[in-house]
Amino acid sequence: MPPSPKSRPKRPWQEVAQEAQEYRDASMKDYDTRLPEPLEGNMPKSVMTVPGSLLADESLQITELLPEELVSLLASGQLTSVTVTEAFLRRAALAQKLANCVTELLPERALARARFLDDHYTQYKRPIGPLHGLPISVKEHIGMDGLRVHCGYVSWWYKIGKEDAHVLEILWNAGAVFHARTTEPQSMMHLETDSNLYGVTVNPYNRDVTSGGSSGGEGALIALRGSCLGIGSDVGGSIRNPAANNGIYGFKPTAFRIPTDGWGYAMAGADTIDSVLGPLSTSLSGIKLFMKAVLDAKPWLTEPAIVPIPWDSGRVITDSQPLKIAVMWHDGVVKPHPPVTRALSLVVEKLRSLPNVTVVDWKPHVHDEAWAIISNLYYPDGGEEDAEAIDSSGEPWRPLTNWIIKENPCVKELTRGELNYWLEEREAYRKEYANVWTATATGRNPHSGDLEGMVDIILCPVGPGVAPEHGTAKYWCYTSQWNLLNYPAVVFPVSKVDASVDVKDRAYKPKKGVDKDNWDLYDPAIFDGLPVSLQLVGRRYEDEKVLAILEHIKEKIGLPFAKFP
């Protein structure tokens, strides 16, 4: 174990970063896949097809299975845990070379666990739990016993986890195998994943654009099938944004449903805006598998902050059940780029053809005020702890860290009175929004007195565009809006950018400020072929309903409309 920070002489940050990268590379040495000479130093813009040309057939077949398929094959003994784990270790190591998305591979731990699970199956002829043998990747700041928890700060490189995070304990008991840890940005507060420890994580569909953040390592790794199910965190879009950018599924649960004990980040313990843990996956069933496994363990018994609501696996939407879906085309502040609007139009056209579905427009309720509230509450200490974590090592501030803290006019140390004011504003805004939603009801049931005809779900963009170029993701409000309200939201892939169709509307005159900044970013030639995803948002604690509605409309309208690997 390294010496304590107090007894250790200060080192240049570049030396620490070099050590971090050498440590990561050493963890992968037994699973290295040599890139062909034409690729070395000359990587193509899209690397999505590279694994198919380099990995053995068995590894490809295993790693392209969905999580629900894997758990079935593992539970029946048709696949061994060791075979599956080795396949994902190899593909994750390759994904790291292609997208720079992994902080360390865990071969010794993972294979020891896999062998134990195989021995259990041989002896008892049954799986140890619902996730028996399933490899799961983990965002680095989620603590693991005996491993570093640096959260993207150079000065935190020597922080060592003293126990597994609560969610990891639960997944372990359910039979999971943790095989990889993934990258996050400096400060954890980017819709980008870049740090001075590891550099920039890129989007495997187009290395010139971002994989998103702050769970961008998970997004890229899962898109490249180095994992089929991973754990991220979300306080402003950090699960949903990477899921959208990489064409996978991501779910932000209502706060206090998934346990968070044992993670690391600056200002841990502050609850001005609740951050959550949640899953990213290659399938919607993978999202549900994660939620059920965690909540079936009754985490509220040992983590009292968790609300004691068991997972309702029986929640389904039938053809006879009326659904009212509200579409938010625009948040009233920043107009989405053409591919996003086209994806919304495609989905809405299909939804209107369903006999049990009513589609209405959603009028956003002062979303510009929501950003003022949430950005004041992100850093009630004025960013002091983050600044200390960055400046103490001498590492430079990454541009997006500088933007969210130093260039953000809402970031200042709040007095007790100011903090109380913004907390009151938060609660008042939540109440206003709840009333706006409730007002969509068309009447009351004469027998039960329940409101009827209310909007069930909001369909909306995940962001104002698809994955943007590096360093330009500065508009959070299509995701942070729902963090402020503490609403559950799921992201799903729909289509891909088509430069010949998604042309820029030259007649549109954007408003000054963030709308113009965003509109100026759009170039169909740059974004051609990138995933286009959308978001479904439900009311607080309606997590199961959100996923059930997505499952229903996926089946009925044939989502996604494009092929995703």
Identify whether 214 is preceded by a cis peptide bond (ω within 30 of 0).
yes
Structure tokens at 246: 């990489």
Q: Would you say 236 is a known binding-site residue?
A: yes
| Selected catalytic residue, list 214, 227, 393, 480 | 214
Does residue 129 have a known ligand-binding role? Answer: no
Which has the closest alpha carbon to 303: 143, 171, 166? 166
In DSSP terms, 491 is beta-bridged to: 250, 535
Beta bridge pairs of residue 413: 381
Six token digits for residue 366:
């002062």
Strands 323-327, 457-461: pairing is parallel
Task: Decide the pairing of beta strands 135-139 and 177-182.
Answer: parallel
Is 394 one of the annotated binding-site residues? Answer: no
CA dihedral 490, 246, 277, 13 (to 10 degrees): -160
Q: What is the C-alpha to C-alpha distance for residues 381 and 448, in angstroms, rounded to an integer? A: 48
For the chain, the distance separating the N- and C-terminal CA atoms, rounded to the nearest angstrom, is 41
Is 412 annotated as catalytic?
Answer: no
Pairing of strands 135-139, 229-234: parallel
* Rounded Cα gap, residues 463 and 532, in angstroms: 10
Alpha-carbon dihedral sign for residues 208, 193, 191, 292: positive
Q: Where are the alpha helices (DSSP H) in 57-80?
A: 57-63, 67-75
Is 238 part of any known ligand binding site? yes
Q: What is the 3-state secondary structure (H, E, C) of 173-213?
A: HCCCEEEEEECCCHHHCCCCCEECCCEECEECCEEEEECCC
Q: Is 238 a catalytic residue?
A: yes
Q: Is 188 annotated to bind ligand?
A: yes
Q: What is the DSSP letter of 336?
A: P
Query: Which listed residue (155, 187, 238, 495) is catalytic?
Result: 238
- Of 112, 114, 153, 162, which Cα lies nearest the Cα of 134? 114
46 is catalytic: no
What CA–CA distance (Å, rounded) separates 341 from 465?
Answer: 9
Number of C-beta neighbours around residue 391 at 10 A: 12
- The reply to whether 1 sits in an annotated binding site is no
From the annotation, which residues make up the binding site for substrate? 188, 214, 235-238
Indicate which residues carry an active-site annotation: 139, 214, 238
